[in-house]
Amino acid sequence: MTKKIFTLPDLGEGLTESDITSWRVSVGDAVEVNQVLADVETAKAVVELSSPYAGTIAALHAEEGDTVDVGAPVVTFDLGGDDGGDDAPASDGAEESGSGDGRVPTLVGYGAAAEKGRPARRARRGVGQAASAAATASAPAAPAAPAAPAAAPAEAQATAPAAPAASSGSGERPRSTPPVRLYAKQNGVDLETVTGTGAHGVITRADVEAAINGGSASGPAGPASAAAPAAAAAAGAAAGAVRTLGGREREVSVPVKGVRKATAAAMVNSAFTAPHVTEFLQVDVTETMELLAELKASREFRDVKLTPMTLTARACVLCMERTPDVNARWDEAAGAIVQQNFVNLGFAAATPRGLMVPNVKDAQAMDLRGLADAIRDLTDKAREGTLAPAELTGGTFTLTNVGVFGVDAGTPIINPGEGAILALGQVRKMPWEHRGEIALRDVMTLSLSFDHRFVDGEQGSRFLADVGAMLRRPGMTLAMV
């Protein structure tokens, strides 16, 4: 048989490793060219890893959650052809002509055999043996077990479809979704011991939470799982029953991978490479909030998602016409300041995978509606984990909206490779001087951090003042640009 080893390619720009989020195939599965093999998380996005061959999965070289280096083996394929070796099986000619089992020859071997209906799930290597060994080891403790199946064979047959949920010696991988598997892994729950209550026995997040709380473990490890919470409860009672947050363990170790790992490295590099200066400006944004309400009520913007950040993003792009230095970058290798006559406007988005900063390409060429639509689309993709690596690279200036968390101000860290970042605080009612009197106005704090190697205090201050003036009186836009 001809076997091919597929190594992990560089899925981005110079990435050195990726995490296997979830496998879409198992050993023994027949696959076609470009069929998705796995979901892989890089430092930039979750991408689908496709098959370069048509054949059968002979081996998977990593488990879900493992980190794999670029160039390391990921999958071994059995292409089903004759490699000329002594152990190569003889061909009966039927397969070569496309008859027999329905496979047809391709440039890389034989494709997947035609199948009707849903393909059968293959057992993972070692799972059946491990379950069998566990059953053998536990046999002496249950001498009366053989009598149970004879008591109600009809009932056993009636409940057979639910069996795949628990992996009691069936050798079948527990059925669940990638987020549930990740949640179980982070909380130390073995899905082999959990009974799924979802459709067709699928394990849900609620099932995992029940297992964490000692509620619904099942399978061969059921008695042991039931004893563990009791032992933990006894230990807690002996220690004075100290309450923990959320009823979880006192400490849980969460591996730093993917986006969080890349973010941590980038922030450390930026904080200790670029000399940060942060300036603050409180702005009366009452007129901007009134404009926002008018736009939302208008026919032209009725279906557009407009927020204070959208208007601030537009203001920043316009103000860069007067102060382009905040949109420049420092080229350490060339010892030069690179002036960029385009704006790839990034914005920080909080997602379940961590903080992500997609950027709107050529934001300077967009009107307010186009900019709002682009921000909405990228935000949705960030939360769904479908951003492409190109949408997370090449930014020139970043906005971060800490106001959505009820925060007034902060000292944001510049995104690596950029010159500045602007943080928006919450908009809240405050007593404010207005036309010579004290009035209750909408006030927001702007926090601008910039790289002092090439953005001087004058330039940073002028840019911040211009953005503030535009948000204070949106009508000033006509006079400033």
The token pair at 27 is 């050993």
Scan for tokens 């379950």, then name that residue: 131
Tell me the C-alpha distance between 47 and 63, whole Å.
17
Residue 221, helix vs strand vs coil: coil
Query: Which of 200, 276, 434, 452 is flagged as catalytic?
Result: 452
Tell me the C-alpha distance between 248 and 86, whole Å.
57
Residue 276 catalytic?
no
Tell me the C-alpha distance between 30 and 353, whole Å.
32
Q: Closest by alpha carbon to 383, among 357, 352, 414? A: 352
Q: What is the dihedral of CA 462, 464, 469, 475, to 10 degrees?
A: 100
Which residues have CB under 8 Å from 86's CB, separation 6+?
Answer: none
Scan for tokens 């059995």, then name that residue: 78
Strands (E), 312-370: 329-331, 336-338, 345-347, 349-351, 354-356, 359-360
Which residues have CB under 8 Å from 227's CB, separation 6+?
Answer: none
The single-letter code of the amino acid at 353 is R
Residues labelled catalytic: 452
